[in-house]
Structure 1
Amino acid sequence: MSTEDQQAREAGQPARPGIGAGAGAVHGVVRGTAPAPLSILDLAPVGAGHTPAEALVATTELARSAEAWGYHRFWVAEHHGMPGVASSTPAVLLAHLGAHTSTLRLGSGGVMLPNHAPLAIAEQFGLLEALHPGRIDLGLGRAPGTDQATARALRRGLAEGADDFPQQLAELTHFLDGDFPAGHPYARLTAVPKGDGRPPLWLLGSSGFSARLAGQLGLPFAFAHHFSGNNTVPALDLYRSSFRPSEVLAEPYALIGVSAVAADGEAQARRLARSAGLGMLRLRLGKPGPIPTPEEAESYPYSAAEADFLDDWLSNVVLGSPGEVADGLEALRKRTGADELMVTSHIHGHEARRRSYGLIAQAYGLTAQVA
């Protein structure tokens, strides 16, 4: 048996039918005249001059708007030690968003499994499913979502890391399904609350590891095109070539995360996107902070290397007028063969961000009008 096959076997079997992880919960729903399902990845961004409390209010308002506009999913991501991100604990935020929406699918994009005991995640998402039945997705990543020092603090008492992800995934799956084999040390343990259903599992990634594992297990796969655009097509090809039909999926199902900014025109959209680009540059330099304002991004004294970084980062953002963004998204979908697109507008200014998502929804065909 190959190492890859062994990892797949150790990661356990996909969920059985009838426990909420079937294809109906996985596949996106096309709204309006859109050519494919469209979803949102949100980090509850904290911009310069704003507080985390204001960012969380804005994310709640955005989720309500996203539901009205016809977006299919609204995922939030686990990050730590980043002053520009307020979504450090997805389960807490998802419980809140569920109370303020009624039909929107909510999920983690993702929970960084190596940071947690699998039983804790099974309990958290079992509780979420009990609160908001049939609406929760559990997306899992194998990266820490932070720097090494913070990762060590988060994992105090946890021996495993990213290299043990398949084993952690197997344990989590057994806790969710309540089906540890007889004789297993955890066979008598139960993740509570546990109802008739449970959230579908997604694997997230920006390289080939999770793509191959998701394919071998017959699970849906979400690829982070927004920060690893050069690897998108190879990773999706690997996912599809590795895919084995399962009780969850008969065929591969892949979505990609895409940075997208819509405004009245290309110049304004690029101005907004540059604020996110400067924030990413500072993160890469080990100086994370709130998302800079567009004015700060315009006046920042970029070195030649920094200017090259920003240009390269912006080249992976779909930006422009609403029509230009819709055309760009559709071209990307066709080029990659993605089944679903998940857009993220990590820009400064709550109103500018909300308007960007609204314009994209309208131009892509989700809704006829946007408030």
Structure 2
Amino acid sequence: MRERERGRPTVTTAQDESIRATPRGSAPVPLSVLDLAPVGSGRTARDALRSTVDLARLTERRGYHRFWVAEHHSMPGIASSSPAVILAHLAAHTDRIRLGSGGVMLPNHAPLVIAEQFGTLEALAPGRVDLGLGRAPGTDGATAAALRRGESAEGADDFPRQLAELIRFLDDDFPEGHPCAGIHAVPGPVQGRVAGGVQRADRPSVWLLGSSGFSARLAGALGLPFSFAHHFSAANTVPALELYRESFRPSAVLDRPYAKIGVQVVAADSAEQARRQVLTGSLAMLRLRMGRPGLVPTPEEAEEHRLTPVEQEFIQDRLRNVVFGTKDEVRAGLDALVARTGADELMLTANVHGAEARLRSYDLVADAYGLPRG
């Protein structure tokens, strides 16, 4: 009852029961992590994935709630093309932190394959797996066509049907007569119903991701938790969250809306150090938007790059939506963001050059909120 009295949504799935026990220190909401395994200039994919493991261990020790990785393709500066593989590796190197996808781009995959992959993850890390789903390709159009083998009917517009099919596979509850009624995602619930079966009832917690109103409305209608990409669609954050809350219908998953937002955050020992790191990720994003994706540049490379007026405008617009500075400045920015949006959880991302800078940033944010050192 205390959660209701404070106005916090009640999370009813077994997977998310731990949210109320998450160490928050003085943070107004739980803090989580979205990692892209960024590959910096002079670094390898192996370096990037090693730093993702180091970051997962650090944030687990510091009391962060979730650690998600995002699906991207054909981007040299991002090594997270295969979330399920990375999450399996992280499951072997962590013990408590929730692990998930932020997200899996469902139109790129057959729902049965995703149900099997995340059923396997649930078997590896019982009770701590999230399946965040998006409808964008996570790449450019040509790469999306290669991923989907040219099957246009299986694109973003077909997302609600794909989602319904995936959830049916996860729950193993296709109705009699359905073409998939005799098909089972394994590992999954069917193993608990056959002779001698002792399969756990838990299954991955399903989230919808979005950067506009489509997924907000769908998540609300289905009574699912919603994660909004504030870090690259800040102008739509408040309208999308309002739409989600207005559309929300209670379900077996949630009795009230639960909204998480992703936010680009960089904390450093000085404001100038933080700004130097923010510029590395901003320049990488600029190059991506201009059709010239590459590795995340070093701070020195970013400083030496001479921006055109159009590029300068892009960078300044991006900086307005990044929370960066000293730990106290970052805390003030995050507190203001929670107050403005009413978010129930913050998922911090730091797509910058260098593992040391990323680790330091998350450590400083934890210090700012008095999270435990573990």
Query: Using the alignment, how far apart are the partners of 2:187 and 2:75 within structure 1?
Result: 32
Q: Is the 8 A contact 2:108 2:144 kept in 1?
A: yes
Q: What's the offset of the Cα at 1:364?
A: 2.1
Query: Using the alignment, how far apart are the partners of 1:193 and 1:238 within structure 2?
Result: 35
Structure 1 counterpart of 2:175, one-letter code: P
Partner of 1:152: 145
2:220 paired with 1:215: yes
2:127 paired with 1:122: no
Query: Using the alignment, how far apart are the partners of 1:28 and 1:268 within structure 2?
Result: 34
Out of 162, 166, 169, the position equivalent to 1:172 is 166
RMSD over equivalenced CA pairs, Å: 1.4
2:230 paired with 1:237: no
Structure 1 counterpart of 2:141, one-letter code: Q
2:359 paired with 1:354: yes
2:147 paired with 1:142: no
Q: What's the offset of the Cα at 1:28?
A: 7.7
Q: Deviations over 1:11-43 (max 9, x none)?
A: xxxxxx87x45x526768243332210000001
2:287 paired with 1:282: yes
Out of 180, 183, 186, the position equivalent to 1:186 is 180
Q: Is the 8 A contact 2:281 2:353 kept in 1?
A: yes
Structure 1 counterpart of 2:233, one-letter code: S
- Size of the alignment, in residue pairs? 351
What's the TM-score once normalised by structure 1's chain length? Answer: 0.92
Q: What's the offset of the Cα at 1:301?
A: 1.5
Partner of 2:7: none
Query: Using the alignment, how far apart are the partners of 2:23 and 2:53 within structure 1?
Result: 23
Query: Using the alignment, how far apart are the partners of 1:217 and 1:28 within structure 2?
Result: 26
Q: Is the 8 A contact 1:72 1:105 kept in 2?
A: yes
2:79 paired with 1:86: yes
Q: Is the 8 A contact 1:47 1:293 kept in 2?
A: yes
Query: Using the alignment, how far apart are the partners of 1:165 and 1:291 within structure 2?
Result: 32
Structure 1 counterpart of 2:235, one-letter code: N
Relative to structure 2, which stretch is displaced further, 322-331 or 264-273?
264-273
What does 1:1-371 correspond to in 2, within 5 Å? 20=14, 24=17, 29-156=22-149, 158=151, 159-194=153-188, 195=199, 196-367=201-372
Change (3 A) 1:42 1:183: same
Relative to structure 2, which stretch is displaced further, 202-211 or 25-34?
25-34
Query: Using the alignment, how far apart are the partners of 2:171 and 2:222 within structure 1?
Result: 15
Partner of 1:11: none
Q: Is the 8 A contact 2:172 2:185 kept in 1?
A: yes
Q: 1:168 is paired with a residue of what secondary structure? A: helix
Q: 2:220 is paired with a residue of what secondary structure? A: helix
Q: Is the 8 A contact 1:260 1:319 kept in 2?
A: yes
Change (3 A) 1:201 1:25: farther
Q: What's the offset of the Cα at 1:266?
A: 1.5
Gaps of 5+ in 1: 1-16
Gaps of 5+ in 2: 1-11, 189-198
Q: Is the 8 A contact 2:19 2:65 kept in 1?
A: no
Q: What's the offset of the Cα at 1:44?
A: 0.6
Q: Deviations over 1:163-182 (max 9, x none)?
A: 00000000000000000011
Q: Deviations over 1:56-78 (max 9, x none)?
A: 01110110011001100000000
Q: Is the 8 A contact 1:26 1:200 kept in 2?
A: no
Percent sequence identity is: 66
